[in-house]
Amino acid sequence: MVFYISTELSSICHYFSSFFVFVHASPHQSSDFRWKDYCPLVFRTLRKLFKVDPDEYMISICGNDALRELSFLGKSGSFFYLTNDDRNMIKTMKKSKVKVLLRMLLAYYNHVRAFENTLVTKFYGLHCVKLTGAVRFVIMGNLFYSKYAIHRRFDLKGSSHGHTTDKPKAEIYAITTLKDLDLNFIFRLQKAWFQEFCR
């Protein structure tokens, strides 16, 4: 296995003194491929901030168990996969979306450092595998990984335009993904929690 370190660094990775790593590998009975690791030091630091155990993370992502493909596509045409332990989700991304994530990485990093209990999506790594074509993907913490039973799931975008579930009430189950206009709950927080949430 040979590692190639690129000499041209993106501005975001310059800021974090990170680098891109290219891996050229020739595994047994397999085609050659190249692996690109975006800003690895940044994402390693983020995983530490999110208290992700490095060994458990590697076993979850790279273990012998196969990934499970979810049966739905995102509006962007992305594919979603779950690790066998349900801890992590993998989402394929277009090159343009990768650039957006890299542009916002500095602000995201600063936010995570400032707010330990943030509710934003937990990004753990951003990668690209090149075989015959390039497959870019992001690894995220699975929000629904919990020891508690989940009765309702919502995909909240902060928008009311077209954001409602088109299923009748009788066909809504615990695994149904509901949207902004389906959220008809009143949330009451302790004053200290509310103030922390509004920071």
Per-residue pLDDT, 5? 31
Whether 106 and 172 share a structural domain:
no
Whether 103 and 158 share a structural domain:
no
Whether 185 and 110 share a structural domain:
no
Per-residue pLDDT, 31? 63
Domain count, the chain: 2
Q: Find the mean pLDDT for residues 103-132.
A: 93
Whether 93 and 163 share a structural domain:
no
Is residue 81 classed exposed, middle or buried when 0-12, 13-18 and 19+ CB atoms within 10 A define those classes? middle
Q: Is residue 147 part of a domain?
A: no
Q: H helices of the chain, where?
A: 11-15, 40-49, 54-62, 95-114, 191-197
Using DSSP's 3-state secondary structure scheme, residue 176 falls into coil
Per-residue pLDDT, 162? 73
The more confidently predicted of residues 53 and 162 is 53
Whether 27 and 105 share a structural domain:
yes
Per-residue pLDDT, 17? 34
Whether 114 and 70 share a structural domain:
yes
Whether 35 and 93 share a structural domain:
yes
Of 93, 112, 141, which residue is a domain's last?
A: 141
Per-residue pLDDT, 152? 85
DSSP E strand boundaries for the chain: 2-5, 21-25, 33-37, 68-69, 80-82, 88-93, 123-130, 134-141, 153-155, 177-179
- Cα separation, 21 vs 2, in Å, equals 10
pLDDT at 143 over 70: yes
3-state DSSP of 100-112 = HHHHHHHHHHHHH
Whether 162 and 89 share a structural domain:
no
Q: Which of 71-75, 159-163, 168-172, 181-185 shows the lowest per-residue confidence on average (mean pLDDT)?
A: 71-75
Q: Is residue 148 part of a domain?
A: no
Of 117, 141, 165, which residue is a domain's last?
A: 141
CATH number at residue 72: 3.30.800.10
Q: Is residue 146 part of a domain?
A: no
Whether 47 and 117 share a structural domain:
yes
Look up the domain containing 15 and give its range: 2-141
Whether 84 and 122 share a structural domain:
yes
Residue appearing with tokens 């995909």: 155
Q: Is residue 127 part of a domain?
A: yes
pLDDT grade for 26, boundaries at 50, 70 and 90: very low
Whether 96 and 183 share a structural domain:
no
Q: Is residue 65 part of a domain?
A: yes
